[in-house]
Amino acid sequence: MYKKYFKRIIDFLLSFIIIVLFTPFFIIIAMCIKLEDDGPIFYLGDRIGKNRKKFRMIKFRSMKVDAPDIRNEDGSTYNSSIDSRVTKVGKFLRETSLDEIPQVFNVIKGDMSLLGPRASTWDALQSFQYDEIDKMNVRPGISGFTQAYYRNGLTKREKRLKDSWYANNVNFLLDIKIFFKTISTVVKREGLYNNERIDSKLKQEVKS
């Protein structure tokens, strides 16, 4: 009952409230992004939605205009504390997770949920293994099980497997736990970067 009906109702109502309350902050953030490098305010990316439906996810832009797409060996996005592609405003937005807030418009539209698996890029659709595809049986979320408990501390396959587990076990109590864990993770800034070891090595090389 919760998964089929109430979750969507809660998503819509809470997203509407967030939009009303955060509108002044949206305007301030948009102005800061524009003032730094005069590029687009939002980043739009093609993502895999529920039942493999393609949709465009919206975020505040955190990278410089025309920044190259850098991936790790497993195909996951390179994420570093010393990434020169990220703007000063963008680094702050990422570390506070404010870059994700515009996705509430995706939630209102019905493409996403407040809580659910991390939305995979559309070009990754054919790379899913048989035991990972259940992830796509539910709407992707702004936050979710892997983001809250592991953030960038897992490989791409590990994330997909845990997201598939969530999709098959979603319930109200689980979502409540994820909600509060998300707040804790964001406040403590846990697991922000998936390339911390590389960052540390580069910093040592620079010092020497």
Give Cβ neighbours of residue 11 (< 8 Å, ≥ 6 apart).
107, 113, 114
Cβ-based neighbours of 108, under 8 Å, separated by 6 or more: 12, 15, 16, 19
pLDDT digits (tens, 9 = 90+) for 97-126: 999 999 999 999 999 999 999 999 999 999
Supply the pLDDT for residue 1: 87
What stretches of the chain adopt beta strand conformation (E)? 42-48, 54-60, 113-115, 141-143
pLDDT for the residue 203: 46
The answer to whether 97 and 182 are in contact (CB under 8 A) is: no
CB burial string 55-88: b at 16+ within 10 A, e below: bebbbbbbbeeebeeeeeeeebeebbbebeebbe
pLDDT of residue 189: 73
Q: Could you tell me the pTM of the whole model?
A: 0.86
Q: What is the pLDDT along the chain (208 residues), one digit of tens a residue?
A: 898 899 999 999 999 999 999 999 999 999 999 999 989 999 999 999 999 999 999 999 999 888 887 777 766 677 777 788 999 999 999 989 999 999 999 999 999 999 999 999 999 999 999 999 999 999 999 999 999 998 878 888 999 999 999 999 999 999 999 999 999 988 887 666 666 544 444 444 444 4
3-state helix, strand, coil in the chain (%, to 5): 55, 10, 30
What's the pLDDT score for residue 69?
79
- Whether 114 and 142 have beta carbons less than 8 Å apart is answered as yes
Cβ–Cβ < 8 Å for 69, 125: no
The pLDDT, as a whole number, for residue 108 is 97
Amino acid at 142: I
Strand partners, 52: none
Give the amino acid at 25.
Answer: F
